[in-house]
Each structure stands twice: as structure tokens, then as C-alpha cells.
Amino acid sequence: MNKSDLKPARVFEQFAKINAIPRPSKHEEKMIEYLSNFGKEHGLETHVDETGNVLIRKPATKGYENYPTIILQSHMDMVCDKLVDVDFDFSKDAIQTYIDGEWLTAKGTTLGADDGIGDAIELAILESDDIEHGPLECVFTRDEETQLSGAEGMKPGFMTGKYLINLDSEEEGQIFISCAGGMGTEATFHFSREEAPKDYFFFEGSVKGLKGGHSGDDINKKRANAIKVLGRFLYNENEKYGIRLVSWNSGKMHNAIPRDGKIVFAVSADKKEEVKADWNQFAAQVEDEFHVTDTTMQWSLKSADRQPVVPEAVSTNLIRAVQAVDNGVFAMCQEEELSWLVETSSNIASIKTEDDQIVIVSSQRSNVKSNLLNEANSIKAAFQLAGAEVKQGDGYPSWKTDANSPIVQTAVEAYKDLFHKEPKVLGIHAGLECGLFSEKYPDIDMVSFGPTLRHVHTPDEKLLIPTVQMVWDHLLLILKKLSK
């Protein structure tokens, strides 16, 4: 397959333009400017709210003036992650894409199809003059990937449509009608560094090449978490030898499973050979434990320069806390028809060391509000017991649409008409902005779908090219059918 085979061409043309625009979360200014200019250049009513969300209205085509207004919605920011040895600046460099069989991917970075492909679909519809549809509101929200602050900051009345189609799902053939809610927990360990005992030997250990993934969609796939893996090693060694921590850095995004990490620690010099042996044995055991999901682990342990260390009590408490905190799936849905769906989970997402503090970020998800709070409080309590300063945000709500609502039924019927098979109508453990919209706009009827993506939030992210045409055809038929 070559670039001339990318269909629909108008969507991939827009996607290429989007991927030339820097758009990290919280730094979407250039994308906001691009979208605003796009609307105005095409003579369309365009609004930017005080949060930075962009809305572009397009009138109905002839014969569809009496159709209800449909909102098409996607987010403009992207997760910015790259391979450790790739030189790339997400604040100015364009994403470099290439075709690998039926997949579109990027050279050493995240692809940005989450949710750039949703943006591209909206722009292609706005630019077209040969698509039949009722009144449209195309909405592009900012900062979805970190705090959903675009959707959170949107005021009631910005959108006026009766139906909303969220284009931020990642499996063609699946129509999502519910999502999990979530919270974030941040633990900070404060300290004043001190000199290690004179006879201590310093190590630098690292692991990389883990698969990682989305902390919602992939949390049930038993993928190794770099922070938890390194935490296990540190815990074992601390219990045996009383190590002193210098630094610990791993993970970047709150909604990604960390793929690599580095620790610097010190141990009594007479124990350094035992530590080396333990490292080799531990690495082999972990590789065997994750031999199905993480087949490219790379381990390194080498000497490091002598440097100030974290005080013993703080070092020990932090290591014990990381060992103790829950990570992964906590509970599955209780309903028999949803027993395959994760109900509640937690992901320890990043750890960052500065001169006088170490900050640990984790995220909890659940479609049951009481269990979300329970899981978040469990994480909070573990870090509090370890002496950390703990902060939690308000989080975001879960969402559920009636499976028999007009937009769900229309989406199902349109899919069957096109592809002669039933789509799956599902819930998703990831968070979607639909949860926040459902609070601000309780009367809007919503669904979510999109083309097939794999390994989102990682440099392995890829888009299954043929599914973009399928989603495009499906969406256009819904626009024609949804007349209630």
C-alpha cells in the first residue's frame, strides 16, 4: 500500500496537515489558530470559548434543513511520547508518518491519530460540498489527554445540538455507549539530601522496551509497568541490604502505562556483588513472568558516581509505598453481559525526582462512583502512611447512554445496512469527554466510535487504514438517517 491508496483521500489529507501542527496537551495554541482560521476561510460560523475549545457550525444541505442538529466532537491534543534514542521536539517538529502494510504509523513517536484522525474526519466534512447532512456543529476540545480541562471548562450553551457523536474510540465495529470515570492521585515526598556512608557503592539501573499502552484500554492485558517492576527490585534489595535511594524517574503521561525507567541507588560496598547477582536473577524472572506481553525488555545495571542520597527513612517509606499501592485491575463488572469489562483499576503512571522531592502520579478509573472513590482512597492512604503529601483532583464522571436511544439505534441500523453484520454495542474502561458532557448537557443523546488504533499513547501507535473508510461511510450514513 502507498500514499495514493489512503482512503478517503480527503480525510488523510486533513490528517497530514494536522500532524504538521504541534499540539501537545496544554499547548494547543497553534491548533486552535489553525481550526479557527479554517472555519473562517470556509465562510463558516466559528467560535472559540474562553477555555480554547473550537466550534464550527455548518448549515444543513438542501432538503435536510429540518433535521436535528448533530454535534461531531473530537479532541485536538495528542499524547507526546517517543523512543528514548529519537531526537524529536513535540513543540515544533512535524510527526513523520509511514505506511507499514495496512497500517499507518510514525517514525519513533506517537502517531497522533488519538484523536487527530477524529479531527481530520470533522474537517473533511466541513470542507466538503457533496455530503448530505442536517445542521452540524463540529467541536474540537483541548487538553483531553491530561485533565479533560477543555470539556470541563466548556460552559452550557456552547453546543446546541440534540445528538453528539464522539470520534475518539479506537476499535472499528464497536459503538460505545458508556465509559469509566476517573481520578488522579499525586504523592510528593519532601526531603533534604544527605551524604551516604563513605563505604557505599552507587548503582544506576534501568529497564526499557516494555510495551506500555493506554492505562484504560490496556490495563487488563497484564503488561509490565516499569515503575512497579523497578519498585519490586528496590523493595527486595532494601529489605535485605538497606539501600539508599538517589533518584527514580519513569513514565510521562498520567494515562499511559510506563514503558521505561531508571533508578540510582547506593548500597554498602560489601554487598555490591550480591546486588549484581540479584539484578540478573530478578530480570530473568520478570522476563519470564511477562514473556507473552513484553518480549523486548532491556535491562542495564552499571556503576554510578557518588552523590547525595535521600534520607534513609524517606527512601524506605517511598520504596515500601510503591511496592504496596494497588496497580492494575481491581474489579470487573458484575453484570453477566459485561463480565469481560474492567470496572475499577489503578495505574501508577509516573515518578519524577527533583533536588528535594520525588513526585508520584497515579490514576484511578471506575464506572462505579463509590468504588472509584474507594480505590483512590486506598492509593491515597498508602502514600499518606508513607509520609507523603497527597493531592487528589475532583476527577471526571462516568457516562452511560440508553442502548435503545435514537442515536444508538440509528448507528446500529446504519452499520448493518453498510456491512451486513451487527456492530458491538459496548462500554469502555477508558475515560471519554462524554461523561463531562452528560453533566453539562443532560439532554444530549451520545455515542462514540472510530477507526481501529493500536498501542495508543506509545511510539508504537498505529492506525488501521481500511477502517477509516469504514468509519467515514458509517458516519455519513448516520448523518443521512438521523432525522428524528
What radius of gyration do the chain's Cα atoms show? Answer: 24
- Percent of the chain exceeding pLDDT 90 equals 88
* Rounded mean pLDDT, 302-317: 97
Reported as a pLDDT band with limits 50, 70 and 90, residue 51 is very high
CA 31 to chain centre: 19
Does pLDDT of 397 surpass 80? yes
* Rounded mean pLDDT, 445-467: 95
Does pLDDT of 3 surpass 90? no
Does pLDDT of 160 surpass 80? yes
For 111-194, strand residue ranges (E) read: 136-141, 163-166, 174-179, 181-190
Q: Using omega within 30 degrees of 0 as the cis cutoff, is the peptide bond preceding 115 cis?
A: yes
Separation of alpha carbons 217 and 452, rounded Å: 13
- The H or E element containing residue 467 is helix 465-481
Give catalytic residues, as residue numbers. Answer: 77, 144
CA 484 to chain centre: 34
Nearest CA among 435, 476, 431 for reference residue 122: 476
Give the pLDDT of residue 327: 94
CA 46 to chain centre: 28
Which position has the higher pLDDT, 1 or 268? 268
Which cell numbers hold the place of 294?
513484553
Give the pLDDT of residue 84: 82
At 276-291, the pLDDT tens digits run: 999 999 999 999 999 9
Give the pLDDT of residue 423: 96
* Amino acid identity at 364: Q
* Rounded mean pLDDT, 20-35: 97
What is the reported pTM? 0.83
- Percent of the chain exceeding pLDDT 70 equals 100
The answer to whether 162 and 444 are in contact (CB under 8 A) is yes
Does pLDDT of 402 surpass 90? no
Mean pLDDT of the chain: 95
At 370-394, the pLDDT tens digits run: 999 999 999 999 999 999 999 998 8
Counting every residue written for the chain, the total comes to: 484
Which cell numbers hold the place of 381?
492512604
Does pLDDT of 406 surpass 90? yes
Does pLDDT of 273 surpass 70? yes
Residue 404: partners with Cβ closer than 8 Å, 6 or more residues away:
none
Does pLDDT of 416 surpass 80? yes
Does pLDDT of 459 surpass 80? yes
Give the pLDDT of residue 217: 86
The answer to whether 19 and 116 are in contact (CB under 8 A) is yes
* Rounded mean pLDDT, 130-147: 94
Does pLDDT of 431 surpass 90? no
Helix (H, G, I), strand (E, B) or coil at 432: coil
Does pLDDT of 24 surpass 80? yes
Reported as a pLDDT band with limits 50, 70 and 90, residue 419 is very high
* Rounded mean pLDDT, 181-208: 96
At 86-119, the pLDDT tens digits run: 999 999 999 999 999 999 999 999 999 999 999 9
Give the pLDDT of residue 1: 64
Give the pLDDT of residue 247: 98
* Rounded mean pLDDT, 291-314: 97
Which position has the higher pLDDT, 216 or 409? 409
